[in-house]
Chains A and B, each alone.
Chain A
Amino acid sequence: MTDLTRLTAVEVARVVRDGEASAVDVAQAHLDRIAAVDDRVHAFLHVDTEGALAAARAVDEQRAAGEPLGPLAGVPLALKDVFTTRGVPTTCGSKILEGWRPPYDATVTRRLKDAGIVILGKTNMDEFAMGSSTENSAYGPTRNPWDLDRIPGGSGGGSSASLAAFMAPLAIGTDTGGSIRQPAAVTGTVGAKPTYGGVSRYGLVALASSLDQGGPCARTVLDAALLHEVIAGHDPLDSTSIDTPVPAVADAARRADVAGMRVGVVREFAGDGYQSGVQQRFTEAVDLLASLGADVVEVSCPHFDYALAAYYLILPSECSSNLARFDAMRFGLRVGDDGTRSAEEVMSLTRDDGFGDEVKRRIILGTYALSSGYYDAYYGQAQKVRTLITDDFTAAFERCDVLVSPTTPTTAFRIGERVDDPLAMYLADLCTIPSNLSGGAAMSVPCGLAPEDGLPVGLQVMAPALADDRMYRVAAAFEAAFAERSGAILEGVPAL
């Protein structure tokens, strides 16, 4: 019998639709796989066995009743623990939310359920999505299935690792500065950050409201596109949700053709700090696109050099405010309430105890950047840089349909390697941050293994806002050509 965990989401959906396996069988196979390997990977913070089987049974009943099934009905999914799930623990990788069961579903959660997608559980992440390695989780790091001593990327390392370790064919991530794309790159999987406003943020526990965007993670571009279509679309509960039709990303992924498209290579994303194997695979990827008929040009985005600095002012500022609600009054952890301490003292003790170092660093940094007397020099200036970066993109997209770059400057680094050096950690998001600042779409697709360490490298494809379909089209074309030349990358992942 086929190993159900090795199938793509498209194949799983077909198998369920055709009755070759029940949705319950599919869910059980993945739950078994989780039970077998997740003690080593630690992708999941919570496995919702009961909920998953119930959802799978509902799909089977729907099929038995002759009701039409959605394109991804019965497909299991790993949900990043930053989306609220009614009655199911939601921690955001933080001790401060340990044991909290939200009384409501995020819009993304609801849309997944409505589509008949089977949520297996909640995946590990850097605390409140702050990090690039998943080492900042209060519940211990997730390990990269390619090498258990290495990081799976972050903040959505649990979601990317669950895909690479065949614990789920689909996952959901969130991307504030690269938290979908960088984990995808270092695990040899696919991850897309839709246009800001494309996927509802309602029920996504906010890191930086103006940058956060939920998006699909999968092992193939088409799977990601199909998942994209499930979760995207206007939501009246999110004021920043775009009220226009979702771009036809699945059609674009099926079309998978780049002939005549103009592909821009961003000059600034190269040089010092870029691993040679990453550079090499990226150059080969660009050549492959050219061989498929793409018109490759070099473009310059001079202000991208300032993106990291602007990002590390805007993000801490917004997060210092967003995380103020974790105060021990209405939900979550409460520390030091001995009947004599004041609310203010209990808040301060709880927040010191409940937040990890990176969260505290960013809260203090953001508080500083917003304080009177510093606002103009920091937050105000960073917002101007944001305008300059958006203008760079606009100019580049006048010449090109999409832009490409390595997704991240290096392959997966070792666990512990950068924990004491925040600035070094921040560099992992160098190439991904500009799209968050501008609000455009961007995704990562595997483009080989670095020769020096045999670890996955990601190709980033960036598209203008609302043109998500373009990046899927290019990524799918690349994926097909690459597989034809070199075989599917994930064939190389260790068996565990």
Chain B
Amino acid sequence: MTVTVEDALTRWQPVVGMETHVELGTRSKMFCGCATEFGAEPNQQTCPVCLGLPGSLPVANEAAIRYTILIGLALNCSIASWCRFARKNYFYPDMPKNYQISQYDEPLCVDGWLDVQLGGEVHRIGIERVHLEEDTGKSLHVGGATGRIHGADFSLVDYNRAGIPLVEIVTRPDITSAALARAYVTELRDLVRAVGASDVKMEEGSLRCDVNVSLRPIDASALGTRAEVKNVNSLRSVERAVRHEIGRQATRLEAGERIVQETRHFHEDTGTTTSGRSKEEAQDYRYFPEPDLVPIAPDPAWVEELRASLPELPAARRQRLTAELGLSDADQLAMNNAGVLDLVLAAVEAGAPAADARNWWLGDLLARSNAADVDPAELGITPAQVARVCALVADGTLTATMAKDVFAGILETGDDPDTVVATKGLRQVSDVGALGTAVDDAIAALPDVAQKIRDGKVAAVGALVGAVMKSTRGQANAGVVKELVLQRLGVAPE
């Protein structure tokens, strides 16, 4: 009998903990000077150190340490006064030294929390630790039916990714639903971006989650046996993986079976998980302090300096934007997901009304970015230009349609808005004298409509306004035209 998730949730409480790996945005790798740029030719960004060649030695990247401490501080962690790297020993072809330089019982940051908002409530997720380690290479599996590792004939390894700094953020089992798991990762991603530690390009695999899920009876407190779902690499997948595990585990438990403590793999295509190797035969990683690297003892003054340098974090910013600008959570989420929130805020900073800036960046400008396949920030329109255009609309110089033409003009020529307005002659005509003839022409051309209006059917005025707009090629101020038409026909405005 398969138990559905909704049904399961009436009897079982999910208990979820997450281990999230984020590639840090350093220019060079964790322990050598090789570049970290995504998309290079295979093995172009490798050297004796990241290939693990005999005799090579690691030297830690200062920026990676700094970013990790910044993340730890933003997550309200304590920063270790003294800690070491450790070697995690296991053999795998994509790991050049057959040990990973990581941290074991002495992580750089411990005991913090992250407040996550979901459904109008704030959930505090405990952070157990934040530590630093190095990434592995990537294998391409060749042959076999599927192109997957299973059944492949051989593999081809590219070590460009090997040695890129990874920060691992481990929560306490405080996450109580699939939606909260997703909200946590979203919040974490925004926080890492906010402190400048990484761009977190999820599509490039720079954020990867391992999700630990167990169920306990809704009225009991003892934890159940957990399964660890590996390599969950998108926000949507996090939610799907947790939901799948809730259903799977409830089904087993209600059939009287036990949950095996094991590693499971998530499949994007089906949204399901399958068993990996069992933890019973788990590796013995033989951790020991890395003798090639000396201990890290962050100077307390440096840590305080970093704390003082922390930018406004996403949660605080959200509250402020709601209070100061009236941008709702839903709006902020939409802008954030579209990558325009910072642009909107910059436009507001430059004088644009928040609602107008939001509409432009989420509307016309986002559409243009999508059409050009670039990030909105790379489109070629600055927040200051948006603010200027908003001002020109507000003072009646431009109509909304004209404003779009101005943006098109900026993209075409690179000129500032005022220059585009001048060179394209995009100026709304509000002058009564200049519009009078056009209005008279329109009344003459559409006598039936004019009569209807005189007879009291004022709503018909739109047809005459439209005609004037057409004859002035959109440059007339529609409001002024309407008033003028009604005045000419001797009808009082509503």
The answer to whether any beta carbons of A and B sit under 8 Å apart in the complex is yes
Interface residue tally for chain B (C-beta within 8 Å): 31
Q: Which residue of B lies closest to A348 (CB)?
A: B91
Knowing A84-B55, A370-B286 are in contact, say whether A327-B48 is a contact too (CB < 8 A). no
User: A327-B98, A370-B288, A375-B288 known; A344 and B54 CB under 8 Å?
Assistant: no
* A166 at the binding interface (Cβ < 8 Å): no
Residues of chain B within 8 A (CB-CB) of A104 are: 48, 53, 55-56
Interface residues of B in 42-90 (CB under 8 A from A): 48, 51-60, 87, 89
User: Which one of B87, B91, B293 has the greatest number of beta carbons of chain A within 10 Å?
Assistant: B91
Q: Does A343 contact B93, Cβ atoms closer than 8 Å?
A: yes
Within 8 A of B (CB), among A47-62: none
Chain A contacts for B52, CB-based, 8 A: 325, 330
Q: Which residue on chain B has the smallest CB distance to residue A94?
A: B54
A89: min CB distance to chain B, Å:
12
B206 within 8 A of A: no
A92 to B55, CA, bound (A): 11
Asked whether B360 is an interface residue with its Cβ less than 8 Å from the other chain, the reply is no
Within 8 A of A (CB), among B73-115: 87, 89, 91, 93, 96-99
Asked if A239 and B288 make an inter-chain contact with CB atoms under 8 angstroms apart, the answer reads no
Closest to A238 in B: B57
Decide if B288 touches A321 in the complex (CB within 8 Å). Answer: yes
Smallest Cβ distance from B277 to chain A, in angstroms? 13
A471 touches B (CB below 8 Å): no
A205 within 8 A of B: yes
Q: With an 8 A cutoff between CB atoms, is A394 at the interface?
A: no
A347 near B: Cβ within 8 Å?
Answer: yes
Stretch at the interface among A12-20, A119-127, A136-144, A196-204: A196-204
- Between A102, A204, A238, A327, the greatest number of chain B beta carbons within 10 A of the residue's beta carbon is seen for A327
- Inter-chain residue pair count (beta carbon < 8 A): 102
A479 vs B314: C-alpha distance when bound (angstroms): 72
B161 CB to closest chain A CB (Å) equals 15
Report the minimal beta-carbon distance from B84 to chain A, rounded to whole angstroms: 12
B291:A330 contact, CB within 8 angstroms: no
Q: Closest Cβ of chain A: how far from B230's Cβ, in Å? A: 19
B487 → A minimal CB distance (Å): 83
Residues 305-324 of A at the B interface (beta carbon under 8 Å): 317-318, 320-321, 324
| CB pair A209 B286 closer than 8 Å | no
- In the bound complex, residues from chain A placing their C-beta under 8 Å from that of B284 are 371-372
Knowing A239-B292, A329-B157 touch, does A321 contact B55 (C-beta < 8 A)? no
User: Is A331's beta carbon under 8 Å from chain B?
Assistant: yes
Closest B residue by C-beta to A109? B55
B294 located at the interface, meaning its Cβ lies under 8 Å from any Cβ of chain A in the complex: yes
Inter-chain CA distance A331–B56, complex, in Å, is 14
Q: How far in angstroms is the closest Cβ of chain A from B354? A: 50
Given known contacts A325-B98, A339-B153, A343-B155, A331 and B294 CB-to-CB distance under 8 angstroms: no
The chain B residue sitting closest to A92, CB to CB, is B54
Per-residue 0/1 for B154-170: is the Cβ within 8 Å of any A Cβ (1 yes, 0 no)? 11010000000000000
Q: Is residue A283 within 8 Å, beta carbon to beta carbon, of the partner chain?
A: no
- Give the Cβ gap from A368 to chain B, nearest Cβ, in Å: 10
Complex CA distance for A106 and B154, rounded to whole angstroms: 33
| B292 close to A102 (CB less than 8 A) | no
Q: Is the CB of A371 within 8 A of B55?
A: no
Contact of A327 among B51, B91, B293 (CB under 8 A): B91
Provide the A320-342 mask, 1 if CB < 8 A to any CB of B, else 0.
11001111011100000001000
Smallest CB–CB gap between A387 and chain B, Å?
Answer: 14
Contact of B293 among A208, A239, A371 (CB under 8 A): A239
Is the beta-carbon distance between B57 and A324 smaller than 8 angstroms? no
The smallest C-beta distance from B221 to any residue of chain A, in angstroms, reads 29
Return A204 CB to nearest CB of chain B, in Å.
Answer: 6
* A209 / chain B contacts, CB cutoff of 8 Å: 291-292
* Interchain nearest-CB distance for B20 vs A (Å): 25
Complex Cα distance A372/B154, Å? Answer: 33
Beta-carbon contact of B54 and A97 below 8 Å = yes
Partner of B288, one of A92, A236, A379: A379
Q: Would you give 23 A-B contacts (Cβ < 8 Å), ordered by A?
A: A102-B55, A201-B57, A202-B55, A206-B292, A208-B291, A210-B291, A239-B58, A239-B59, A239-B292, A240-B292, A240-B294, A317-B288, A318-B291, A324-B89, A325-B52, A325-B53, A325-B97, A327-B93, A327-B98, A343-B155, A370-B89, A371-B286, A375-B286
Told that A239-B293, A240-B294, A347-B91 touch, could you supply 13 new A-B pairs with CB distance under 8 A?
A84-B55, A102-B48, A202-B55, A202-B56, A205-B54, A206-B292, A210-B291, A237-B57, A240-B292, A320-B89, A324-B89, A324-B98, A343-B93
Binding site for B on A (CB under 8 A): 83-84, 90, 92, 97, 100, 102-104, 106, 201-206, 208-210, 236-240, 317-318, 320-321, 324-327, 329-331, 339, 343-344, 347, 367, 370-372, 375, 379
